Amino acid sequence: MTEIDALQHPFDAAVELTPATDGRLLGRTRPEYANMVGPFGGVTAATLLQAVLRHPDRLGDPISLTVNYAGPIADGDFDITARAVRTNRATQHWMLELSQDGVVTTTATAVFGIRRDTWSDTELDMPSVPSPETVPAQSLPDFIAWAHNYEMRFVEGAIPEEGAGEHPDSTATLWMREAPARPLDFPRLTALCDLFYPRVFLRHGRYMAAGTVSLTVYFHADAHEIAAQHDDYVLGTARTSRFSRGYFDQTARLWSRDGTLLASSHQLVYFKN
């Protein structure tokens, strides 16, 4: 580890990108964010979002991001191409590809835009839960490297212990933040949207092969609202609508402590039992 690495938060190192002369952005996977196969999908999504955030032609802030995990990402170098396919007065549409050795492993689309002051309302209520300080911290198993970068305080739906047996519901609700804590931003919020372990683990009470195929994040908060969170906990809740023929969906919502809905996400997950 270099002296610069020692001073840099692991997340910032993981989403760091270096411009190449041909317009590509160059990155490298980090062992701190390794998953059972390849890197943690949340940090991959955050890195793709970072590619647009750093682009000189970027308009406004993120509105939505969809990431399709086409194949495994190997440990090592990768490159990202980011192209604005259309820019309107208030919105901008992007296409992205993450490649290794000329082979595309991940594709994404993103919508950025300029938000206006309008009438607003939130129809969903934040779940009524204890404060994070009163909920004990729990961790995922040691072999899941990326989980060491997060503090998780489960209100319900903690990862099942061995022999726990089947569970009738897939809902998980937890307070979450980085460890060590850092101020929230758009890439960090993106990664938090993928912090939930596969819902099928909870339903079956055991680990099994599973992986995200597609993840979409909708950003409800603007840059000012996100910055106002500083390094406080975020409340996340997720559940599945249906498990069927080797796939299941997951819907998640992330709230600030004061009840602001920051983001929602939807993903499709492959599983094998």
| pLDDT value of position 1 | 39
Q: What's the DSSP call for residue 23?
A: S
pLDDT above 60 for 238: yes
Does 63 map to a domain? Answer: yes
* Residue whose pair of structure tokens reads 């996100």 in the numeric block: 226
- The H helix count followed by the E strand count for the chain is 6, 13
Does 120 map to a domain? Answer: no
Does 15 map to a domain? Answer: yes
Tokens of 119: 């009438």
Find the CATH number of the domain harbouring 162. Answer: 2.40.160.210
| pLDDT value of position 273 | 82
Q: How many domains does the chain have?
A: 1
Does 203 map to a domain? Answer: yes
**Mean pLDDT rounded to a whole number for the chain:** 94
| pLDDT value of position 160 | 86
Cα 225 from Cα 6, distance rounded (Å): 30
Domain enclosing residue 77, as ranges:
3-113+127-272
| pLDDT value of position 18 | 97
The pTM for the full model equals: 0.95
Cα 63 from Cα 219, distance rounded (Å): 5
pLDDT above 90 for 142: no
Does 94 map to a domain? Answer: yes
Does 122 map to a domain? Answer: no
| pLDDT value of position 2 | 42
Name the band, by pLDDT with cuts 50, 70 and 90, for residue 6.
low
Q: What is the pLDDT of residues 39-68, one digit of tens each?
A: 999 999 999 999 999 999 999 999 999 999
Show Cβ contacts of residue 72 under 8 Å, excluding neighbours closer than 6 positions.
37, 38, 105
Cα 18 from Cα 139, distance rounded (Å): 33
Cα 258 from Cα 255, distance rounded (Å): 8
Radius of gyration in angstroms for the set of CA atoms belonging to the chain, rounded to a whole number? 18
Q: What is the pLDDT of residues 12-49, one digit of tens each?
A: 999 999 999 999 999 999 999 999 889 999 999 999 99
Where is average pLDDT lowest: 74-83, 93-102, 161-170, 189-198?
161-170
Does 36 map to a domain? Answer: yes
Does 198 map to a domain? Answer: yes
Show Cβ contacts of residue 32 under 8 Å, excluding neighbours closer than 6 positions.
10, 13, 14, 145, 146, 148, 149
pLDDT above 80 for 176: yes
| Long-range CB contacts for residues 86-89, cutoff 8 Å, separation at least 24 | 87/57, 87/59
> Please, are residues 185 and 226 in contact by the beta-carbon 8 Å criterion?
yes
| pLDDT value of position 114 | 96
